[in-house]
Amino acid sequence: MQLLRWILFPFTILYTLVIWVRNKLYDHRILKSRSFEIPTIVIGNLAVGGAGKSPLAQKLISYFQGRYKVATLSRGYGRKTKGFRYVQIADQASQVGDEPLQFKKNFPDVSISVDENRIKGIEILEKDHDLIILDDAYQHRKVKPRCSILLFEYQSLLQPIYLLPTGNFRDTFDQTRRADLVLITKCPADIPIENQKIIEDKIRKHNQKASVYYSKIGYKPIKPLNKGSEDKELSQIPKHILLLTGIANPRPLVEYLINAEIKSEHLKFPDHHQFDEFDYKVIRSRFEKMQSQHNDVIVLTTEKDAQRLSLDEIADIPFYYIPIDIHINQEEDFFRDLEKALQF
């Protein structure tokens, strides 16, 4: 796979050139960006998926919802509908996307919306809200936000940076300069000083003003997808599980289970995978095989994947999901800098 990526390096050069030209057109205002009076926060990353945007969006919603009328706006990746739509708890992921549906279930009183046209979406939301959080919109340069938060996964900054298809970046690294805050995610418990220097040297080459913060993943008690079951601590689940993921980067969860001495068989699907009848047969077959070997077995998935699973298909399987959280070092300072950027 890595060899194929290097074989495709000429396409990386072409893609880099296209992205560079597009950014220059916006920089020189040949292509127009629009700002709004309502405070807007953009969350995004330069690489493909897996940086922790959704946990951060939820932390921002939780922080601001008590003081302001907050709305979120996402594209609704993977949905089969078009145009602006307010997300309802009874919606399916195919109608609104898995992450917006997750937000709505966790924050039922907050306006969660989707629209592939961010300008139109903001125009609708600004009439009745005080603050709009735009998820995964850093590359959407038609909107000029009040504040931009740029996320980088820790490991991605310790490796050479190449754009697709050779590397995992979808935008040129110099676009770091547009960020008001930079958040390094999925960090180890102790960050070596030399690694921190490598990371901050890369960022400061393009952005001298942004505050740089570090964060770690946290996992909450496991919740059941089946009715009648109860939440469980990790220590309460069987030592053999079937792990089901359809996310960009399941590695932190796999490592978390290993550290907890839980042995998992990993059934891995692509990010935002839409589960079909064949997938459910595979899941059931793998579960039954494990059950015959270990007797007490559960299936564990992520909260995002749980939005795309059919409860009817898994009703007789002990299915659980594990909510994710994000712990920001110097969190009070992070939110102080965020409010300063928003001019609150």
Residues of the chain below pLDDT 70? 1
* One domain for residues 23 and 82: yes
Q: Which two tokens stand for residue 11?
A: 């396409």
Is 138 in the same domain as 231?
no
The CA-CA-CA angle for residues 86, 327, 270, to 5°, reads: 55
202 and 230 housed in the same domain? no
Q: Which value, to the nearest 10 degrees, does the dihedral of the CA atoms of residues 84, 138, 273, 245 take?
A: -130
Which residues does residue 165 pair with via DSSP β-bridges, in sequence order? none
Tokens of 48: 């493909």
* Residue range of the domain that includes 62: 2-218+327-342
b/e sequence 9-20, b meaning 16+ C-beta within 10 Å: eeebeebbeebe
At residue 322, the pLDDT reads 97
Same domain, yes or no: 116 and 236: no
Same domain, 185 and 211: yes
Can you name the residues that pair with 241 across neighbouring β-strands?
Answer: 264, 298
pLDDT value for 292: 94
pLDDT value of residue 1: 62
216 in Cβ contact with 189 (< 8 Å): yes
Read out DSSP for 33-76? -B--SS-EEEEEESBSS-S-HHHHHHHHHHHHTTTS-EEEEE--
Burial of residue 259 (number of CB atoms within 10 Å: 0-12, 13-18, 19+): exposed
What pLDDT is stored for residue 6 in this prediction? 87
Closest of 42, 32, 38, 65 to residue 123, by C-alpha: 38
List the 263-268 sheet strands across, edge first.
223-224, 319-322, 298-302, 240-245, 263-268
State residue 150's pLDDT score: 98
Locate 176 and state its tokens: 């770091």
How far is it, in rounded angstroms, from Cα 337 to Cα 60?
A: 13
* Residues in CB range of 197: below 8 A, 6 or more apart: none
Question: What would the pLDDT profile of 16-46 be if each residue is shown by its tens digit?
Answer: 999 999 999 999 999 999 999 999 999 999 9
Residues 211 and 227 in one domain: no
Say how far apart CA 340 and CA 320 lie, in whole Å.
Answer: 40
Cα–Cα–Cα angle for 75, 78, 79, nearest 5°? 75
Query: Does 154 share its domain with 290?
Result: no
- Per DSSP, 179 falls in state -
Domain count of the fold of the chain: 2
76 and 193 belong to one structural domain:
yes
Residue whose tokens read 């809200």: 129
Mark whether 317 and 182 lie in a shared domain: no
The CATH number given to whatever domain includes residue 91 is 3.40.50.300
Q: In this predicted model, what pLDDT tens digit does every residue of 186-196 receive, in sequence order?
A: 999 999 999 99
Does 23 lie in the same domain as 153?
yes
Tell me, yes or no, whether 316 and 331 share the same domain. Answer: no
Helix spans in the chain (H): 2-7, 9-27, 53-64, 93-96, 98-106, 118-125, 193-204, 251-259, 277-294, 303-306, 331-342
Closest CA to 44 of 185, 165, 158, 214: 185
Query: Sheet containing 40-45: which strands, arranged edge to edge?
Result: 85-86, 111-114, 70-74, 131-135, 40-45, 147-153, 181-185, 211-219, 324-328
**Residue 259, token pair as written in the block:** 């550290």
Q: What is the pLDDT, as a whole number, of residue 228? A: 73
135 and 248 part of one domain: no
Q: What pLDDT, in 10s, does the model give residues 262-288?
A: 999 999 999 999 999 999 999 999 999
Q: What is the pLDDT of residue 190?
A: 94
CB neighbour list of residue 288: distance below 8 Å, 6 or more residues apart: none
